Amino acid sequence: MLSKTISLGINGIDAHLVEVEVDTVRGLPGFTIVGLPDSSVKEAKDRIRSAIENSGFLFPPKNYIVNLAPAEFKKQGSNFDLPIAIAILVHSGQTDIHTIPYPMVGELSLDGTLRAVQSTISMTLTLHKKKFDHFIVPYDNRYEANAIDNIKIYPAKSLNEVIKILTTNTKPFTDTRQETQKYFSIDFSTIAGQEGIKRAAEVATAGYHNFLMYGPPGSGKSMIAKAIQGILPKLTKNQAIETTIIHSNAGVLPINSGLITTPPFRSPHHTSSHISIVGGGRIASPGEISLSHNGILFLDELTEFQGFLLQTMRQPLEDGVITISRAAGTSVYPAKFMLVGACNPCRCGYIFDPEIECTCTNAMIRSYYSKISGPIIDRIDIEHYVPRIAYEKLTNNSGTEASATIRERITECRLIQLERFKNRNYSFNGQMDTEDVRKYCQLSIEDENFLINSSQKMRLSARSYFRILRVARTIADLDKKEDIKKNHILEALSYKNLPRNYEMFLS
């Protein structure tokens, strides 16, 4: 008799229901899996046979056929081991179970123990959406699965424990674990003498604006970038679920962890491979730009990254997603990150330094500038020069604000934005579309003329004009003002201070 159970497969970032059917047909003993399994699923056969025998059951020598339906998407990974094994045991009448009531996933070891699988949280979410209310998962995935409300989770350590869950009245798992808020050890209070850049970082973070710091070596640009992590507010529940889904899908969620509640901070090196940053690979996996979703993507030495890579970042910077095309199909991953970049203003770094002389030739400056001004600069909302400051001054922390205080202001400012954009598919000023800019960034006629004239004088593009309005909105929100005033515009304009063309660089 045919035996059936429900499991789940992963396609891109989404989990899909998969019906696992087991039957035997005439013929010599065998084991065939159909329904578009890839090689990793086919490897399941030996694990399943060994796990069944080592759990005290028999693996009757018959000709098994396993069907994974629907056949339209490729089944990857080891998550079908458990449902196939259980269906075989039910089919061969070795348990008291006749129909299998709960969906399940899990990889089997040869001895019958269950190993964690990736993307359990996406699977739980799909089951919840499809009105299932029970789910059997490997023990090490229990917190992740239990992060979704209103579905009962049954963690199991082995094949035998799963049989026990299915045949006795087992209580569901009730403990939830949230990652405790871990902040990077650099506190803003330990960075003295950089008040301008700290304010710029606060505005950028409050409104989710892309942020570029440029300055000579040793000015503390990467230290400031790392300190920004400490002023990011905790993720909302929805953001935490989205972030955890991506990290679990990429296989970087530590075992036994629950929801990620701290915004991610990712800083890939400029020598990292294109796939590791953008995502992709034979079995598609999210890259750094998706792992930084709802957090920060920090590109130190921005000009050292390949031009092609920076070009690829245009789509996520505009749309908040990245589309990855492979032979097996197209996957779309979320990639709504705040870009924080740092670079030298010229090859040697000292072009604007009052004390150290720049050793670059005009040709070197021209070629370097084309790298900064290329694909990225139009998508940066806030640019800020970071001057070199004597080390003693940099670490003298008298009278400066602690990260926790700044974080409180940013959290309040973000609440205003979350309320403003509650019916949108974005949440922050930095992500506003032009229609919303027109609605929420209205200026008096006098201020509008002032901004238009200033933009022309500063040779800013039309795109930059809208970016300034978005930043001015955030500054007004930090100021708890409904209307954008001239002082907000002036501050926003001051964050467009990278010379707009190469000649201005030389003057």
Applying CB under 5 A, the residues found at the interface with Zn ion are 346, 348, 351, 358, 360
Residue 486, class by beta-carbon neighbours within 10 Å (0-12 exposed, 13-18 middle, 19+ buried)? Answer: middle
Residue 165 vs 346, nearer CB to Zn ion: 346
Closest contact distance (angstroms) between CB of 503 and Zn ion is 16
Closest contact distance (angstroms) between CB of 268 and Zn ion is 26
Closest contact distance (angstroms) between CB of 346 and Zn ion is 3
What residue ranges in 251-395 does DSSP mark as E strands? 265-266, 279-280, 285-286, 296-300, 321-326, 329-334, 338-343, 382-385
Closest contact distance (angstroms) between CB of 350 and Zn ion is 5
Q: What is the DSSP string of 389-455?
A: --HHHHT--TT---HHHHHHHHHHHHHHHHHHTTTSS--SGGG--HHHHHHH----HHHHHHHHHHH
Residue 449, class by beta-carbon neighbours within 10 Å (0-12 exposed, 13-18 middle, 19+ buried)? Answer: exposed
Contacts of 271 (CB under 8 A, 6+ apart): none
Residue 240 vs 360, nearer CB to Zn ion: 360
**Three-class SS of residue 368?**
helix
Residue 61 vs 354, nearer CB to Zn ion: 354
Q: Which helix (H) or strand (E) holds 269?
A: none
Closest contact distance (angstroms) between CB of 385 and Zn ion is 14
The first and second tokens of residue 10, run together, are 């992963």
Closest contact distance (angstroms) between CB of 320 and Zn ion is 36
What is the 3-state composition of the chain as percent helix, strand, coil, each rounded to the nearest 5? 40, 20, 40
Measured CA to CA in angstroms, residue 219 lies from 42, 195, 245 at distances of 55, 13, 37
Alpha helices in 210-326 (DSSP H): 221-228, 237-249, 274-278, 288-291, 307-312, 314-319
Residue 64 vs 505, nearer CB to Zn ion: 505
Q: Which helix (H) or strand (E) holds 152?
A: strand 152-156
Closest contact distance (angstroms) between CB of 302 and Zn ion is 16
Closest contact distance (angstroms) between CB of 279 and Zn ion is 35
The first and second tokens of residue 183, run together, are 């902040």
Closest contact distance (angstroms) between CB of 383 and Zn ion is 18
Q: Which residues pair with 15 in a beta bridge?
A: 10
Distance from C-alpha of 24 to C-alpha of 29, rounded to nearest angstrom: 9
Distance from C-alpha of 494 to C-alpha of 200, rounded to nearest angstrom: 10
Measured CA to CA in angstroms, residue 285 lies from 9, 17, 310 at distances of 14, 20, 19
Contacts of 213 (CB under 8 A, 6+ apart): 197, 221, 224, 225, 340, 341, 342, 343, 384, 385, 386
Residue 74 vs 366, nearer CB to Zn ion: 366
Q: Which residues pair with 154 in a beta bridge?
A: 136
Residue 415 vs 504, nearer CB to Zn ion: 504
Closest contact distance (angstroms) between CB of 360 and Zn ion is 3
Per DSSP bridges, beta strands 285-286 and 279-280 are antiparallel
Closest contact distance (angstroms) between CB of 254 and Zn ion is 43
**Encoded amino acid at 259, one letter:** L
